[in-house]
Amino acid sequence: MSINDPDGRYARSELRYHTLPGGRTVVHLARRFVPDPARMTIAGVLPTQAGERVDLFAARTVGVPTAWWRIADANRVIHPETLEWPEGQRLVVALPEPGA
């Protein structure tokens, strides 16, 4: 059963099953723990451009707009919109983790 983007941040998350009173089973993804940036392999530290959203920054730097979450993880950011301002800030770009 695929309920997830195979290249997304939850791709390696385990499926969990919870049976509700009445017998209905609910499927959900296990909690994802954000990796420690200190253990990541850094590809570079690059500035954002004027008006650049985090998905556009990811497309420009790693070639995949849906990899914005890797930028967020590498910069220890919970709310990705904070990566979009101020313009020109320098963001860490990490290589994908092995197996990701």
- Domain annotation for the chain: domains and CATH numbers: 37-94 (3.10.350)
Rounded Cα distance between 15 and 17, Å, is: 7
Output phi, psi for 37, to 5 deg.
Answer: -55, -25
Question: Residue 1 — pLDDT band, cuts 50, 70, 90?
Answer: very low
pLDDT for 98 equals: 64
pLDDT digits (tens, 9 = 90+) for 13-52: 888 999 999 999 999 888 888 889 999 999 999 999 998 9
pLDDT for 21 equals: 96
pLDDT for 3 equals: 56
What's the chain's average pLDDT?
87
The predicted model gives 61-77 an average pLDDT of 92
Identity at 26, one-letter amino acid code: V
Cα Rg, the chain, nearest whole Å: 16
